[in-house]
Structure 1
Amino acid sequence: MTMRKLAELIGVSHATVSRWFNGIAVPDVDQVSAVLTHLGVNGDERTKILNLAIRAAAAPADIAETNNSPAQFKELLTLERTAHTVVEWSPLLVPELLRTANYGRATVAGEAPTLKDAEVDHLTTLMLGRQNAITREDPVRLTAFVGVAAVISRIGGQATMAGQLRYLLTASRLEAVTVRLVPIETDWHGGLLGPFSIYERGELPTVIRIKRYHDTAFAHDPNVAQEYRKIAKELGSIAMSPDQSRDCLNTVINEL
């Protein structure tokens, strides 16, 4: 196979593949996996090469980016494209993959009040575009643990919130989406430390997204992933069932 043909199959330029094979640039784990697939590399050799790529990717255990930065957005798209399951804990806001346009606009404007209206609209559009991850032909399986505090808030006003909760109720019935509300009246649990997302990607390394005030960290360390899996399991033990969560959503919608 020629480098030009390989580049076409992977979806990158011929020059990029040339730089990889000349040692000038290093492909990421997903690109290494694609190269091995198209070149028919299997078995122990494939495992050995992928492990090298994974160790290289995991070298910076924690990559922080400013919220809404191009690098962060690219990382999110890659994770949502390669993950087979996503577990998200969102205690105070509706998860990004389940937001309406009006609610999304209100959250973007709230996080960055200095942005112009056009910039807010642009970032909102990008956020909504990511929802293809749960509606495409082969969707990612999303389990969203949502704090009741997120449901009873009034972000964007009463009408916006009612529309958001109706959409959340509809999304909860999608085959690929599970929504479980986490009550406020609980004892201590690991989720109180803050929101996170777990991206499980099969043979590729699990990535944890940890959203903080003005930046987001992507952790690739397997030990960190294991700790967050434990927190997710803990949330599962205290969260309402999917049916109970829908009943709660209906109650709040009727109150609105």
Structure 2
Amino acid sequence: MANGSRQAAWEFFGAELKRRREDAGITQVELGSRVFVSGGYIGQFEQAIRKPQLDVAQRIDEALQTDGIFERLWRKLIKEQPYTEYFAHAAELERLATEICDWAPTVIPGLLQTPEYARAVFLASNPFAADEYIEELLRGRMDRTEILKDTTRPVYWAVLHEAALRIPVGNPAVMARQLDHIAVLMQERKVMVQVMPFAAGAHPEMGKMMWLMEFEDAPPTVYTEGVLSGSLLDDPAVVKRARASYDLLRAAALSPEASLALIESAAEDYRRCASTT
């Protein structure tokens, strides 16, 4: 399903939600209280600005006595979107974020990836997949990177462990172009990137990727990912603790200027390696 068609389908979801809610004679605030979200969230669901998580869709069905229609619609739409189910909601929220903070312990974050690097990552995870499947994953990944090109792009801050620069993904030429890409984004002041050097030793969230998002009119969230699973959390205490961990990571990392120098040096190392092979 193309992006435009998918958005139209979510707009149908929202319009149907509004119709069913109004037929039941309840306000957005009243429905929100029954399904444990704010009335503002219900309004955003109805306008297809936000997409509800599965448990919210299920509670809407229960509150409006709609015989599972919103759960079925949700499952149909999630199945036909280009991301894994556990990541889909985070990807939708990413488009609305005013600030995104990434911590990447081993792999360059998706928003910073070049097509060649992303393809190599997907092939490593799916060595027996058909080309069409890899290309579908790649299109979804590259669609996400478009938000950094918008004039209304979010403030984007990434802390990369030096391991993400040194672990070769693809071949040396792919890595050189990947690191050059990050350097250009930094030089154009579209992103802020710091590198956590090996010399920093132990640090918070070792081995765990973390992704914080803030919004203009909604609570901040934190997304973490494990093996074939992901968690999107908005509990204020959890987000506060994650923010504190991220602040410690930034404090232990190299300055943006020193980070840029290290990224450019690593890119040159890969270029020299590529020229000798």
* Cα distance in 2, alignment partners of residues 32 and 173 from structure 1: 41
Q: Which residue of 2 aligns with 1:151?
A: 165
Q: Which residue of 1 aligns with 2:275?
A: none
> TM (normalized to structure 1)?
0.77
Aligned residue among 199, 212, 227 for 1:198: 212
Give 5+ residue unaligned stretches, structure 1: 1-7, 38-52
User: Residue 157 of structure 2: SS of its match in structure 1?
Assistant: strand
Map 1:1-256; keep pairs closer than 5 Å.
Answer: 11-12=11-12, 14-22=15-23, 31-34=41-44, 69-256=83-270
- Matching residue's letter, 2:230: T
Question: Larger relative CO (CA 8 A, sep 6+): 1 or 2?
Answer: 1
Q: Deviations over 1:139-194 (max 9, x none)?
A: 01110101111111211011111111111111222434101111112243212151
* Cα distance in 2, alignment partners of residues 176 and 95 from structure 1: 15
User: Among the aligned pairs, what percent are the same residue?
Assistant: 20
Structure 2 contact 105–207 (Cα < 8 Å) conserved = no
Report the alpha carbon displacement of residue 122 of structure 1 after superposing the two structures with TM: 0.9
Q: Deviations over 1:177-222 (max 9, x none)?
A: 1011111122432121511100111331211110112211111211
Structure 1 contact 140–176 (Cα < 8 Å) conserved = no
* Cα distance in 1, alignment partners of residues 219 and 21 from structure 2: 21
- Matching residue's letter, 1:214: L
- Matching residue's letter, 1:208: V
Report the alpha carbon displacement of residue 70 of structure 1 after superposing the two structures with TM: 4.6
Report the alpha carbon displacement of residue 72 of structure 1 after superposing the two structures with TM: 3.9
Moved over 6 A (4+): 24-30
Give 5+ residue unaligned stretches, structure 2: 1-7, 60-77, 271-277
Report the alpha carbon displacement of residue 34 of structure 1 after superposing the two structures with TM: 4.2
When residues 250 and 175 of structure 1 are mapped into structure 2, their CA distance, relative to the original with a 3 A threshold, is closer
* Cα distance in 2, alignment partners of residues 21 and 189 from structure 1: 52
- Matching residue's letter, 2:115: A
When residues 130 and 35 of structure 1 are mapped into structure 2, their CA distance, relative to the original with a 3 A threshold, is closer
Q: Which residue of 2 aligns with 1:4?
A: none
User: Residue 184 of structure 2: SS of its match in structure 1?
Assistant: helix
Report the alpha carbon displacement of residue 138 of structure 1 after superposing the two structures with TM: 0.4
More strand by share: 1
Structure 1 contact 145–239 (Cα < 8 Å) conserved = yes
Q: Deviations over 1:228-249 (max 9, x none)?
A: 1011100111111111111111
Structure 2 contact 161–198 (Cα < 8 Å) conserved = yes
> TM (normalized to structure 2)?
0.71
User: Residue 165 of structure 1: SS of its match in structure 2?
Assistant: helix
RMSD: 3.3
How many residues get paired?
226
Report the alpha carbon displacement of residue 33 of structure 1 after superposing the two structures with TM: 4.8
Structure 2 contact 87–230 (Cα < 8 Å) conserved = no
User: Residue 107 of structure 2: SS of its match in structure 1?
Assistant: coil
User: Residue 129 of structure 1: SS of its match in structure 2?
Assistant: helix
* Cα distance in 2, alignment partners of residues 70 and 164 from structure 1: 24
* Cα distance in 1, alignment partners of residues 248 and 255 from structure 2: 14
Structure 2 contact 86–229 (Cα < 8 Å) conserved = no
Report the alpha carbon displacement of residue 77 of structure 1 after superposing the two structures with TM: 3.2
